[in-house]
């Protein structure tokens, strides 16, 4: 006789880590079928998101040739694990990078080999089909293996159709625009959508997913006005995000007039849209501000979170993006995109210290992901 009712088993199992569940699939056929069931996969994911358990900090080696990637528990920064990367990192080839994370899936981009959806927890990977030649042959490529302003990427989830999607914008050789294609996991196909109505002259980060849309920073094509814009994954419509005050009431730099900034990148911090403002032209002090939109779509909810002086910060902040809050909410992890060492910023006393994970590379790009059983295909 079972020591507890059978209907309690799913409720118990959905609280366990993915590694344990993968081992438990071998206990019996019913357990294996249960753990593979789509309803159980959703329950397990919901439980992890609700309790904030199974949250990992992914460490992507941005400075060395390394076929492995790494992850630690985000709260403790312990329990280092390593994974074989979906794309190899040969010296003569481009390195891959993570372009987004959602529900435990990571989208990985390699300039020569393409894009893959990867679940590090289950070690499963799905390589996306290639684009049609009429689009790829018109791509105005730029030499290099890091970010460039002719290939713009984003990854997210259409919660209306329950479909994971990848957006790829390619600068056209023959037209003054970005040709845009969108990949659907459900159909395993790319499809051309409307051209992007914005230019992206400088690209320091991949798109940020929140509220069923992927967001970037760019310029209006006619006016050149610097904006935050999004692409809704269901309607496939582009839209501008209302911006906050252009002049801060509390000018920590001490300048009487300090309006001239540009948006460097957009991200998601604590479930809110955030953006980095670059004040390289400040007459007093070269600095960066990070602002958070506490209520999505509400202009008045933009709040200045932190101020970074380039002269005083512990690492390079040219491409700075916010990765996540510490569990107590008093610190923010900041990342420069892989060329520098990430660092913590203390919101209370404005102190800082570098992120150091024993056994892991130091110069990494970081992203938060939750362990899950979500399928890559």
When pLDDT is cut at 50, 70 and 90, the band that residue 112 belongs to is confident
pLDDT at 281 over 70: no
pLDDT at 145 over 90: no
pTM (two decimals): 0.91
User: 54-370: CATH homologous superfamily?
Assistant: Kelch-type beta propeller (2.120.10.80)
CA distance 230 to 212: 10
When pLDDT is cut at 50, 70 and 90, the band that residue 255 belongs to is low
Domain extents for the chain? Answer: 1-53, 54-370
**Token digits of residue 114:** 């393409």
Residue 274 gets the label, from left (phi > 0), alpha (psi -120 to 50) or beta, of: beta
- pLDDT per residue as tens digits for the range 180-204: 999 999 999 999 999 999 998 877 7
Any idea how long the chain is? Answer: 377
pLDDT at 257 over 70: no
What's the whole-number mean pLDDT along residues 279-296? 80
Q: What is the DSSP string of 315-375?
A: S--TT-EEEEE-TTSSEEEEE-SSSS--EEEETTT--EEE---TTS-SSEEEEEEE-----
- pLDDT for position 321: 86
When pLDDT is cut at 50, 70 and 90, the band that residue 247 belongs to is low
When pLDDT is cut at 50, 70 and 90, the band that residue 49 belongs to is very high
pLDDT at 24 over 80: yes
Q: Are 276 and 289 in contact (CB under 8 A)?
A: yes
What's the whole-number mean pLDDT along residues 60-81? 86
- pLDDT for position 243: 87
What's the whole-number mean pLDDT along residues 339-349? 87
């Amino acid at each position: 006789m079972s020591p507890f009712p059978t209907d309690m088993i799913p409720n118990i199992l959905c609280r366990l880590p993915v590694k344990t569940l993968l081992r438990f699939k071998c206990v019996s056929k019913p357990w294996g079928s249960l753990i593979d069931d789509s309803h159980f996969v959703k329950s397990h994911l919901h439980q992890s998101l609700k309790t904030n358990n199974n949250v990992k900090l992914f460490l992507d080696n941005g400075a060395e040739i390394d076929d492995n990637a790494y992850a630690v528990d985000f709260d403790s920064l312990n329990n280092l694990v390593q994974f074989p990367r979906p794309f190899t990192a040969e010296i003569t080839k481009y390195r891959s990078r993570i372009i987004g994370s959602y529900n435990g899936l990571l989208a990985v981009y390699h300039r020569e080999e393409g894009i893959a959806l990867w679940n590090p927890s289950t070690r499963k990977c799905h390589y996306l089909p290639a684009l049609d030649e009429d689009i790829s042959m018109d791509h105005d490529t730029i030499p290099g293996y890091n970010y460039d302003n002719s290939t713009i990427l984003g990854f997210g989830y259409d919660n209306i159709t329950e479909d994971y999607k990848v957006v790829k914008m390619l600068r056209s050789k023959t037209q003054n625009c970005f040709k845009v294609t969108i990949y659907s996991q459900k159909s395993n196909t790319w499809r051309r959508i409307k051209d992007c109505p914005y230019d992206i002259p400088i690209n320091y980060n991949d798109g940020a997913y929140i509220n069923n849309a992927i967001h970037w920073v760019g310029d209006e094509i006619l006016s050149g006005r610097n904006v935050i814009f999004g692409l809704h994954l269901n309607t496939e419509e582009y839209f501008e995000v209302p911006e906050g005050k252009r002049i801060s009431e509390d000018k920590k730099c001490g300048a009487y007039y300090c309006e001239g900034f540009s948006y460097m990148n957009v991200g998601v911090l604590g479930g809110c849209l955030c953006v980095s403002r670059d004040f390289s032209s400040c007459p007093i002090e070269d600095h960066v501000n990070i602002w958070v939109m506490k209520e999505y779509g509400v202009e008045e909810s933009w709040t200045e979170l932190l101020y970074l002086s380039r002269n005083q910060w512990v690492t390079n902040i040219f491409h700075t993006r916010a990765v996540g809050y510490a569990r107590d909410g008093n610190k923010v992890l900041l990342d420069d995109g892989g060329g520098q060492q990430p660092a913590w910023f203390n919101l209370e006393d404005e102190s800082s210290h570098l992120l150091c994970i024993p056994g892991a590379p130091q110069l990494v790009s970081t992203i938060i992901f939750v362990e899950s059983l979500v399928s890559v295909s």
